[in-house]
Amino acid sequence: MKQLVLLSLIETFEMVGVSMVLGTAIGIILATLLVLTRPSGLSPKPFIYQTLGIILNAFRSIPFIILIILMIPFTRFWAGTSIGTAAATLPLTFAASLLITRIIEDALNTTPKGLIEVGKALGASNLQIIMKIQFREALPLIVSGLTTISINIIGFSAMAGTVGGGGLGDLAIRYGYQRYDFTLLIIIVIILIAMVQCVQTLGNFLSARLKK
C-alpha cells in the first residue's frame, strides 16, 4: 500500500511538473505574442490579437473534465493511448498553458508605461523591451501566479484520475472511494494538503525574494 501511495505521488509530480514546465513555455510564447500585438502594444496587430484572444477564451471556457474527453483523439495520437500518466499530461499541459498565458499576459501588462518608454527612448528593440524590461519587472507577479496555477493543476490532475490518469487523485478515487478504503482516502487528502502548502509557501518565498 505504501508503495502504491509513493508511486502515485511520483506520478502526480510527473504530471504536474511536466505540464507546468511545458505550459509555462507555451504560456510565455503566447503571452508575449498577445502583449506585443495588443492595440496599445509595441507592435499592434489587431487581427492576430483578436483571433488569438477568441481562441484562448473559447478553450478557457471548457470545463477541464470535458476538455479531457474532447482531447482523447489527440491524446491517443500523441501518447499512443488515452489512459495513463503520459496520456493525462497532454490535457493538463493544455489547461496549464491556457491559465499561464493569462497570468503572464496580465503580469506583463502591469509594466508602467514609463518603463516601456525608457526602453524605447534608449533605442531598445521590441524583444529587448519585452524580455529585459517587462518580464524582468513582472517576475514576482508571474511567480506568484504560477504558484496558484500549480495548485490548480494538482487539483486538475486528480480529475485526470477519472479517465485513468494515474497519480494521487486516481488512487483516491479507485481505492478510497470505489473500494471504501477511507483511511487511504484520508492519507491522500493529507498528502495533498501538505503538497499544496509546500507549493504555496515556496511560491510566496520566491515571489517575495524577487520583489525588491
Partner 1 sequence: MSIIIKNLEKSYDVVVLKGINLEVPQGQILGIIGKSGAGKSTLLRCLNGLEEPSAGNIMINDQPFTGIPDKDRRRIQQKIGNVFQSFNLLSRLTALENVMFPLKLLKQDPQASRKKALKMLHLVGLKGKENDYPSQLSGGQSQRVAIARALISDVSFLLCDEFTSALDIETSLEILELLRDLNKRLGITIILITHDMAIVREICDEVCVLDKGQIVEKNDITSILLYPQNAVTKSLIRNLINKDLPHHLQEKLMKKPTPNSAALFRLFFSSQTAGDPIISSIVKKYDVPINILFGNLDHIRETAFGCLIIAIPYEVSKIDAIVNDLAIRDVSSEILGYLPQKGCFT
Per the CB < 8 A criterion, the answer to whether 129 and 119 are in contact is yes
> Among residues 176, 168, 208, 209, which one has the least CA distance to residue 192?
168
Q: Which stretch binds partner 1 (CB under 8 A): 25-33, 124-132, 143-151, 174-182?
A: 124-132
> Among residues 127, 153, 148, which one has the least CA distance to residue 22?
153
The C-alpha cell that represents 180 in the structure block: 471504501
Asked whether position 119 contacts partner 1 by CB under 8 A, the answer is yes
**Of the candidates 4, 21, 54, 122, which one interacts with partner 1 according to CB under 8 A?**
122
Rounded-to-integer distance, Cα 127 and Cα 139, Å: 16
Asked whether position 115 contacts partner 1 by CB under 8 A, the answer is yes
CA 205 to each of CA 33, 112, 145, 147: distance values in angstroms, whole numbers, following the listed order: 29, 24, 13, 11
Asked whether position 196 contacts partner 1 by CB under 8 A, the answer is no
The C-alpha cell that represents 187 in the structure block: 492519507
Q: Which is nearer to partner 1, 99 or 108 (by Cβ)?
A: 108
Q: How far is the CB of 145 from partner 1 (least distance, A)?
A: 16
Asked whether position 112 contacts partner 1 by CB under 8 A, the answer is yes
Asked whether position 69 contacts partner 1 by CB under 8 A, the answer is no
Asked whether position 120 contacts partner 1 by CB under 8 A, the answer is yes
Contacts to partner 1 by CB under 8 A = 112, 114-115, 117-125, 128, 132-133, 136-137, 139-140, 210-212
